């Protein structure tokens, strides 16, 4: 009997990636110790590779090389890591710097009030960029984990913005001078670990980028949990980045609004929000890596961590196949057609300003009452979405 092919089996073409800190997360939290063994980078690569279908593994400098490793230790770790990547045909698409764990960054890195700390943060990033480049990384993520305040008495937010820009401009030029070929991707977060983080939403970075020295080198890495923890609609933020040509990378996970920083498995909390995100990425042909920045529940043993990793990829694939069906669903599409009413004559007038268009528009007679009476059967549409997603 022929084997049935699993339609949801991921392949490297899906560009699913995991961070060393995600599958390798040992389950510690602010209230309790680790519940799983700490794995070496090579062991984490094995755990990811064993699931099959992943594209790559990302790291912070210190996920791979501990901050106080000797040169000999570093060389051995790199050797083992490289061998594991080869074993599983995994690559390193993205690298980043840990600018948040060490006590030196207790009050920020690029925005610290201390010029010595700011310089050290840039120096650490330069070395981390070198490390990522050794493994072929082409995306470089900046998550400002400690950039922010608890009390606004402590820092001037305008000065902080200028300091952040200065650091990025320096590093963009360094990227050029070393010919690393990185694309920088900024990741926003509203809070945790700081009380108030600078650049709290993706749009904050979209506004910063045009003010940089090398805006073409810079884009964003939005994370599902981050806008969501502030109660915002993540998909809308991603859409704005996409539309601006700035969606370089994306972090997929899940989060309940109003709770602690959960980093749950993608799609585990809000199925509907996950579906509309996958729909956006599919409809607009997002081609960058899809990084699962999440970790298994604290209760999970290593086998269950495998379910977490496989589940993350399967969920995406399942939602992607739903998108295709959604876009072909006759009832849904005919409703959408009804709702989107074209008017070629008026659109021609408003597309571009000209004195003639302005005059014609002012002379147009609009009936507010008639317009307001046009039906918008959104209840019908949203119920169809529910029934479609739940297979009724
Ligand atoms: C950290 C954070 C993530 C960032 C990582 C990159 S580290 O786990 O919670 O959102 O993407 O620095
Ligand atoms: Mn997160
Ligand atoms: Mn992230």
**What distance in angstroms lies between residue 226's CA and the mean position of ligand 2's atoms?**
6
Q: Is the CB of 293 under 6 A from ligand 1?
A: yes
- Atom 6 (ligand 1) nearest CA: 143
DSSP secondary structure letters along 318-369: HHHHHHHHHHH-HHHHHHHHHHS---HHHHHHHHS--HHHHHHHHT----HH
Which tokens go with 226? 């981050």
Give the Cα separation of 208 and 199 in Å (integer). 9
At 4 the pLDDT is: 76
The conformational region for residue 292 under phi > 0 = left, psi -120 to 50 = alpha, else beta, is beta
Q: Any idea which ligand is nearest the CA of 98? A: 1
Query: Relative to the CA of 263, which ligand 1 atom is closest?
Result: 9
Ligand 1: which of 18, 23, 145, 146 to mutate, judged by most atoms within 8 Å of the beta carbon? 145
Q: Is the CB of 141 under 6 A from ligand 1?
A: yes
Nearest one of 212, 213, 233 to 224, comparing CA atoms: 233
- CA–chain centroid gap for 334, Å, is 33
At 2 the pLDDT is: 62
Instruction: Mark the ranges of the chain whose per-residue pLDDT is less than 50.
Output: none
At 62 the pLDDT is: 98
Q: Is the CB of 63 under 6 A from ligand 1?
A: no
At 54 the pLDDT is: 98
- Atom 5 (ligand 1) nearest CA: 143
Decide if 237 is catalytic.
Answer: no
Torsions phi, psi of 222, nearest 5?
-70, 150
Q: Of the residues 63, 254, 263, 293, which is catalytic?
A: 63
Ligand 1: which of 60, 201, 293, 294 to mutate, judged by most atoms within 8 Å of the beta carbon? 293
At 5 the pLDDT is: 87
Q: Is the CB of 143 under 6 A from ligand 1?
A: yes
Query: Relative to the CA of 97, which ligand 1 atom is closest?
Result: 12
Q: Is the CB of 227 under 6 A from ligand 1?
A: no
Decide if 63 is catalytic.
Answer: yes
Q: Is the CB of 25 under 6 A from ligand 1?
A: no
Task: Calculate the alpha carbon distances from 337 to 109, 275, 280, 332 in Å.
Answer: 50, 21, 18, 9
Q: Is the CB of 187 under 6 A from ligand 1?
A: yes
Question: For residue range 336-388, what is the model confidence (pLDDT) as tens digits?
Answer: 999 999 999 999 999 999 999 999 999 999 999 999 999 999 999 999 999 99
């Amino acid at each position: 009997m022929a084997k049935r092919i699993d339609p949801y089996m991921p392949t490297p073409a899906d560009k699913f990636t995991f961070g060393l800190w995600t599958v390798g997360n040992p389950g510690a939290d602010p209230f309790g110790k680790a519940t799983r063994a700490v794995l070496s980078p090579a062991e984490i690569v094995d755990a990811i590779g064993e699931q099959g279908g992943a594209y790559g593994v990302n790291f912070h400098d210190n996920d791979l090389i501990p901050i106080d490793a000797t040169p000999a230790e570093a060389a051995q770790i790199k050797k083992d890591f490289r061998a594991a990547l080869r074993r599983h045909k995994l690559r390193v698409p993205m690298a980043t710097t840990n600018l948040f764990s060490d006590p030196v960054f207790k009050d920020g890195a690029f925005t610290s009030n201390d010029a010595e700390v700011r310089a050290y943060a840039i120096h650490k990033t330069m070395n981390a960029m070198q490390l990522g480049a050794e493994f072929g990384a082409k995306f470089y993520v900046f998550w400002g984990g400690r950039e922010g305040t608890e009390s606004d008495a402590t820092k001037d937010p305008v000065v902080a913005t200028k300091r952040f820009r200065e650091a990025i401009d320096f590093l963009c030029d360094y990227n050029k001078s070393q010919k690393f070929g990185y694309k920088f991707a900024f990741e926003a977060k509203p809070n945790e670990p700081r009380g108030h983080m600078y650049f709290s939403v993706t749009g904050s970075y979209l506004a910063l980028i045009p003010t940089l020295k090398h805006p073409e080198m810079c884009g964003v890495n939005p994370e599902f949990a981050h806008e969501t923890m502030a109660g915002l609609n993540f998909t809308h933020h991603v859409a704005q980045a996409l539309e601006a040509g700035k969606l370089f990378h994306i972090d997929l996970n899940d989060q309940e609004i109003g709770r602690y920083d959960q980093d749950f498995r993608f799609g585990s909390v809000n199925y509907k929000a996950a579906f509309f995100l996958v729909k956006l990425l599919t409809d607009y042909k997002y081609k960058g890596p899809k990084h699962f920045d999440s970790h298994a529940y604290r209760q999970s043993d290593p086998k269950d961590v495998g379910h977490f990793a496989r589940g993350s990829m399967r969920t995406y694939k399942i939602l992607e196949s739903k998108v295709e069906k959604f876009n072909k669903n006759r009832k849904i599409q005919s409703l959408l057609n009804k709702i989107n009413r074209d008017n070629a004559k008026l659109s021609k007038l408003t597309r571009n300003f000209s004195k003639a268009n302005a005059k014609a528009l002012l002379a147009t007679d609009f009936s507010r009452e008639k317009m307001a009476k046009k039906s918008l059967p959104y209840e019908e549409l949203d119920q169809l979405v529910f029934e479609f997603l739940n297979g009724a």
